[in-house]
Structure 1
């Protein structure tokens, strides 16, 4: 479902009703006459729809986390807010950038339109920006020949299935975040797709090495062995960017997560 398009259509219809009534029809109605039901509803919904449209398109948009690919940073069932203007102002529906503000940085958690199906929104972490050479070999992340700063911390307990994963703290610039991986999971990528700029990637038994093309980003989930990300389906083009995730505003299963983003 293309919710932004539906919202835009509702805004245009309700706005047209409100304008036609204000400019033409209202003057022709007898004094004290009741507004027709379609005018009453259209005029009432228009300011509400306009406010939602503006906030959702240019300020912040809510999303729900459906999978565990970003564990431990984000849990299944987290409701998050995504900043829509951090990376620039984009026209609603067509997602075309009209004002450039900043670019995604390594370590950012970003929502984007899935390259293989742009009707689906994905969330992953930026690990490679245009021009970077990203290597994920034997579960070690290297960017431009330099290992990403990493330290081992206590193992992570998956409470839903009661097993442990190795847990690490990585640092990209000034951003620290936790990642996990499973010792018994293979390092190689078994079923990488044929994606644009696939010639920029080299796959081997240890993992993958990719050079990020201009205007694109290399994304990975923090749950490294349970995330289908750029290692499998390629790079995210700039025009697919939705915004930067920054706040957890609700989780029905764990209210303590409200306000956190670790």
Structure 2
């Protein structure tokens, strides 16, 4: 026979293990803080968000190791599951993993249906044998979550439905005492956390573009199949000689569609507006000065120029100069075609490396065309 805890006047209400689990599910470490294990909760929160920060840095930073960042997902999931179990364990000393299992849990704790509703809206109502409401919330949550994958305007709706499902499950659960303040805090945490997570797939593409190298034109710097990160640049982007840039193919892309993410090419910037460029004696010459090309394996076999780069254009070449279709074939690159700078090979693992500016002469490193400043 189960004995319910008796609460005397003036005594605090007993800690709810499943409220602690709910808090940790929304914000890792919050359940431990609710349980009174403040130091442990702070450590867990720092470890959890620190691990996320490390993963993001490893994946997206130029010098980060992409594979190491992806492998961090295992410890992150492990820490999250431990946080849920530990918050329950601290609130109810002596709990076992068998008792913690949601499939075996038979308590009347009103926060348990709320936890199920955090997993999927409607599951809490199904547990409470309210099939109609539970089924409606479940179908609505899945449908809107699916639609939000294609329409960013729907992003706030799935977290709102999750929060509504949790709130309704708590209201429907039998209990002798309601803790509306804690429920409100929990629902706010659910909405904020889930909005932040669901926004990632839409925010990241605005900061980083992923591309696959299609040809051998950039050997040995880039190999066929290398996956690279490109940092999108604003319209007034000022490149430098030596930058590796990604751009829409000027031979196939109309100027009206310049900068689109279809039919992309990757080359190195060789000359800027106003500079005279020529190819002779197996080398590139900029304003009469030979350009240092330490990354090249063989001398250039063709002759080109001299010609002056017109305003709002670039002269670009592949590092594999003799096997690259670039400016020496189709002419100067209109600047609107540029998508951004390629800054990192992020895959395959053995090829992960930053794409830094080559070691050129001081003059070439500092070449920035003042004509860019006045271009529209």
TM range (shorter): 0.5 to 0.7
Which of the two has higher C-alpha Rg?
2
Q: Deviations over 1:49-82 (max 9, x none)?
A: 64433321x2001111111100111111111100
Aligned to 1:80: 228
Superposed CA offset, 1:119-164 (max 9, x none): 410000000111111111132111111111x3xxxxxxxxxxxxxx
TM-score normalised over the length of structure 1 = 0.58
User: Do the aligned partners of residues 52 and 237 (structure 1) sit closer, same or farther apart at CA in structure 2, a change above 3 Å counting?
Assistant: farther
Q: Which residue does 1:46 correspond to in 2?
A: 148
Question: Counterpart in 2 of 1:181?
Answer: 298
Q: Is the contact between residue 342 and residue 355 of structure 2 (CA under 8 Å) also seen in structure 1?
A: no
Structure possessing the higher relative contact order (Cα contacts under 8 Å, 6 or more residues apart): 1
Tell me the TM-score normalised to structure 2 length.
Answer: 0.41
Within 5 Å, which residues of 2 pair with 1:1-262? 34=136, 40-46=142-148, 50=152, 51-56=200-205, 58-84=206-232, 87-88=233-234, 97=235, 100=236, 102-118=237-253, 119-148=262-291, 150=292, 169=294, 178-181=295-298, 186-187=301-302, 206-251=303-348, 255-261=349-355
Higher strand share: 1
Runs of 5+ consecutive residues of structure 2 not aligned to the other structure: 1-131, 153-199, 254-261, 357-376
Partner-residue secondary structure (3-state), 1:73: coil
Unaligned runs of 5+ in 1: 1-29, 89-96, 151-167, 170-177, 188-205
Q: Which structure has more helix as a fraction of its residues?
A: 2
Q: 1:181 Cα shift?
A: 2.7
Q: Secondary structure at the match of 2:325?
A: coil
Q: Corresponding residue for 1:162?
A: none
CA RMSD of aligned residues (A): 2.6
